[in-house]
Amino acid sequence: NAGVTQTPKFQVLKTGQSMTLQCAQDMNHNSMYWYRQDPGMGLRLIYYSASEGTTDKGEVPNGYNVSRLNKREFSLRLESAAPSQTSVYFCASYGYTFGSGTRLTVV
Amino acid sequence: GQQLNQSPQSMFIQEGEDVSMNCTSSSIFNTWLWYKQDPGEGPVLLIALYKAGELTSNGRLTAQFGITRKDSFLNISASIPSDVGIYFCAGHPNSGGSNYKLTFGKGTLLTVNP
């Protein structure tokens, strides 16, 4: 099925560990986005990529890095995870189509 | 930065009732979107609005783009149990292009009692 695929679906990290969240879309969209969702906060933009080869900060970029590997893939990296990064992370394509999320817990 | 105030925060209704929710912005938006999120899933786009005053329907859902361009409304008619979920509004100051840095409301949690 066409859409946005995120991996992994669940992850538990210890404080200080690093990990990369993967996202891929097969709709040939130029723009891709990473959001985090916390209870009562709605969705907040972490980083976005308007097109292949470009990335830019969103509302809450601290503690994250991103890579737009090619037109299909946009990854989010936590270099040194902190408990405040416990959240549900969503990748979106063109702003309209969302993946099913990665549920991350940092202990 | 831009802010969206979405209300109500939650609603508990009986099956068959109509539902209304709205979003207001501190600045002008030229694109308004309404999403629904089911538990454990990502948001799914319900309706997109691109023109002030526009009224668009999707089945039992109707959304309107406010004429001031600072608000939008979503109505659900004759609610059914599967309408349960969180409804989000989102907006963008641009009317086109590939860069949609959306600002989201905090959501309306809808519960439908059969």
| CB pair distance less than 8 Å for B100 and A95 | yes
Confidence at residue B1, expressed as pLDDT on a 0 to 100 scale = 58
| CB pair distance less than 8 Å for B104 and A42 | yes
Q: Taking residues A37-54, what's their average pLDDT? A: 91
Q: Is B39 on the interface with A (CB under 8 A)?
A: no
Dmax (CA) of chain B = 42
Q: Is B106 on the interface with A (CB under 8 A)?
A: yes
Q: Is pLDDT of A91 > 90?
A: yes
Q: Taking residues B24-53, what's their average pLDDT? A: 94
Chain A closest-CA separation from residue B111 CA (Å): 16
Confidence at residue A27, expressed as pLDDT on a 0 to 100 scale = 93
| CB pair distance less than 8 Å for B43 and A95 | no
Cβ neighbours of residue B74 under 8 Å, at least 6 residues apart?
B20, B21, B22, B34, B46, B47, B61, B62, B63, B87, B89
Question: CA-CA distance, A76 to B109, in Å (whole number)?
Answer: 28
What kind and span of H or E run contains A78?
Answer: strand A74-78
Chain A closest-CA separation from residue B16 CA (Å): 27
When pLDDT is cut at 50, 70 and 90, the band that residue A95 belongs to is confident
Q: Taking residues B94-114, what's their average pLDDT? A: 83
What's at A6, amino acid-wise?
Q
Could you tell me if B4 and B25 are in contact, meaning their C-beta atoms sit under 8 angstroms apart? yes
